[in-house]
Amino acid sequence: MNSIPQNIVKTQGAVFREDRERLLNQTASTIWITGLSASGKSTIAYALERALFDKGRLCYVLDGDNVRHGLNCNLGFSAEDRTENIRRVAEVAKLMNDAGVIVITAFISPFAKDRELARDAIGTETFKEIYLNTPIETCEGRDPKGLYRKARAGEIKDFTGVQSPYEAPEFPSLVIDTSRCHIDEAVQRILLQL
């Protein structure tokens, strides 16, 4: 974890998170969707965003691929870079929660220690971990980006589920197997967690 440089002091304005939540008529939270590639994280995240928005909630999806086009474009996929990727996303989610926004993340986030650091940064009461426990055979069968095929052919190194492990959450808020659950049902189950 990065240390805070000397002469840096945290400040607080006159508007607090509770004030923003009251203005928005919602409780800010981070819905952290985790699972293997092609388990349905982004699909469910965007469907959940639409459902929340249609209910008058201010929300935003932080998607793994999209974040790597900008904020985290300088990171690779080594264990260290994956940890830094999740650390940065957690800090952004925390800031957005402080603004009163409901944040939905869609990240493989394969390492339990990284998800735990995200939970600690965001806050246990605010962090809702949704585990898409979808069989790897289903994920490989979907493989919309051809990543499993490339990983099996040796074109991608350290691919989660193939050469690199995925550490399943021990106590997630919710477990969904998208091979047995339609998108709409998954969204409804997550909404009940809020």
Mean pLDDT by runs of 10 across the 194 residues of the chain is 74 93 97 98 98 98 95 92 96 98 97 97 97 97 94 93 95 97 96 88
Q: Which two tokens stand for residue 149?
A: 């095929």
CA dist 169 and 29 (Å) reads 19
Q: Which of 29, 78, 109, 179 is catalytic?
A: 109
> Which residues are paired to 59 by β-bridges?
102
Locate the domains of the chain by residue range.
17-193
CB-based contact 48:191 (threshold 8 Å): yes
Domain 17-193 is of which CATH architecture? 3-Layer(aba) Sandwich (3.40)
Residue 113, marked binder? no
pTM as predicted: 0.93
Q: Which two tokens mark 89?
A: 């996303």
Q: How far apart are CA 193 and CA 155, in angstroms?
A: 39
Is 55 labelled a binding residue?
no
**Which token pair is 162?**
């193939």
Give every CB contact of residue 134 below 8 A, 6+ residues apart in sequence: 35, 36, 38, 39, 40, 177, 178, 179
Residue 3 annotated among the catalytic residues of the structure: no
